[in-house]
Structure 1
Amino acid sequence: MNSPTSPTPNHRPGQLAMGIGALLVAAVLAIGALSIPSDAGYAGVGPNFLPWVVSAALAVCGVLLIREVLTGGYRQMPEPSGAARGDWRALAWVSAGVLLNAALITTIGFILSCSLCFVLAVRGLRMSEGKPAGGLPQTVKDAVTGILIAAPVYWLFTKVLAVNLPGITASGWI
């Protein structure tokens, strides 16, 4: 029986899992940060500085989430919106886009693989909203939009930041 001073558990099981999950991810990041050399670089900080900051911030968030759950649950949280069940077909389209991007990026290049990912993900997101997925004209429009997004990103990374991304030509422009 609960005493008058102890809060009544008013949380969903997933709420506690979120806090514990945040602490676990923080621990994994901290373990990974241990393997990064700590030699001071530019401005006196080493390459392991940012992973430690992220790990610490995530650990603080995890502790605060768990404290919130143990003191009564997320009290200010509105009721969830959307469908009661997940849309598995939409998830399949988005997942296919991400997986094909990863599988094809070195074969067909960054721009085309990211554009394919965009086309498939947008189709899945439309379906999740209950809208038509789109026929051939919409797919072509999505592909052009994907290219218009991916190409400047590719050029920014390869030409301005000198980050090597897979292309399909030796010139480095596509």
Structure 2
Amino acid sequence: MTREPTSQRTVQTLVGAAVVVTALGLAGGALKIPGEAGYGGVGPNFLPWVVAAVLLVCGILIVREARTGGFREMGEPSGAQRAWWPGVVWVSAGLLANAALITTIGFILGCTLCYLLAVQGLRRAQGERPGTRTLLVDLVTGLAISAPVFWLFTKFLAINLPGLTGTGWI
């Protein structure tokens, strides 16, 4: 068993503690969501509680791992020494576009646009210059992720998300 330097173990412990704090914050937010059961027998606070519980377990395991010797068999970090700021701009543009347009173009298209822009930033950070085919694959993938999430929340959990039409399916 190789022991990590103390400074690395401290940073790793702080990462685990940050995950625990995030889980507790999410749990605190879930307390404010009404719990009455909707369609399917679960309420709108079900998913936040599941995510909070999983995050809490992961955070505790990260802290335990860090305190008992550090992250074992961790390879050298990949990528550049510094952040590639144009990639950060692409990802931020996706998040901001989603926030600005979600009530206008609906959840599905807003999240698809967010995914498309974020993936462009990540691809370009790796030196890739996506062509038309890659853009179409990313667009379809974004739709394939956001549409089921929309339907899960609106139809199964009875949570109103902004749609493009009044039917509740798009």
Normalising to structure 1: TM-score of the pair? 0.64
Residue 153 (1) aligns with residue 148 (2): yes
Larger Rg: 1
Assess, with a 3 A threshold, how the Cα gap between structure 1 residues 72 and 101 changes in structure 2: closer, same or farther: same
Assess, with a 3 A threshold, how the Cα gap between structure 1 residues 106 and 16 changes in structure 2: closer, same or farther: same
Assess, with a 3 A threshold, how the Cα gap between structure 1 residues 99 and 142 changes in structure 2: closer, same or farther: farther
User: Residues 150 and 161 of structure 2 are in contact (CA less than 8 Å); yes or no, is this contact kept in structure 1?
Assistant: no
Which residue number corresponds to residue 113 of structure 2?
Answer: 116
User: Residues 38 and 48 of structure 1 are in contact (CA less than 8 Å); yes or no, is this contact kept in structure 2?
Assistant: yes
Assess, with a 3 A threshold, how the Cα gap between structure 1 residues 9 and 130 changes in structure 2: closer, same or farther: same
Deviation at 1:19, TM superposition (A): 1.9
User: Residues 23 and 56 of structure 2 are in contact (CA less than 8 Å); yes or no, is this contact kept in structure 1?
Assistant: yes
User: Residues 112 and 146 of structure 2 are in contact (CA less than 8 Å); yes or no, is this contact kept in structure 1?
Assistant: no
Deviation at 1:59, TM superposition (A): 4.1
Assess, with a 3 A threshold, how the Cα gap between structure 1 residues 141 and 22 changes in structure 2: closer, same or farther: closer
Residue 103 (1) aligns with residue 100 (2): yes
Deviating more after overlay: 56-65 vs 102-111? 56-65
Which consecutive residues of structure 2, in runs of 5 or more, have no partner in the other structure? none
Query: Which runs of structure 2 are paired with 1:106-145 in the superposition (5 Å)?
Result: 106-134=103-131, 137=132, 141=136, 145=140
Assess, with a 3 A threshold, how the Cα gap between structure 1 residues 173 and 147 changes in structure 2: closer, same or farther: farther
Deviating more after overlay: 14-23 vs 57-66? 57-66
- With a CA cutoff of 8 Å and minimum separation of 6, indicate the structure with the bigger relative contact order: 2
Which residue number corresponds to residue 168 of structure 1?
Answer: 164
Identify which of 58, 61, 64 aligns with 1:67.
64
Which residue number corresponds to residue 3 of structure 1?
Answer: none
Aligned length: 165
Which consecutive residues of structure 1, in runs of 5 or more, have no partner in the other structure? 1-6
Assess, with a 3 A threshold, how the Cα gap between structure 1 residues 125 and 46 changes in structure 2: closer, same or farther: closer
Distance in 2 between residues matched to 1:67 and 1:46, nearest whole Å:
33
1:99-122 alpha-carbon deviations (Å, 9 max, x no partner): 211211101223332332233123
Q: Percentage identity across aligned positions?
A: 51
Deviation at 1:155, TM superposition (A): 7.4
Residue 76 (1) aligns with residue 37 (2): no
User: Residues 33 and 45 of structure 2 are in contact (CA less than 8 Å); yes or no, is this contact kept in structure 1?
Assistant: yes
1:12-39 alpha-carbon deviations (Å, 9 max, x no partner): 5431211221232233344445556789
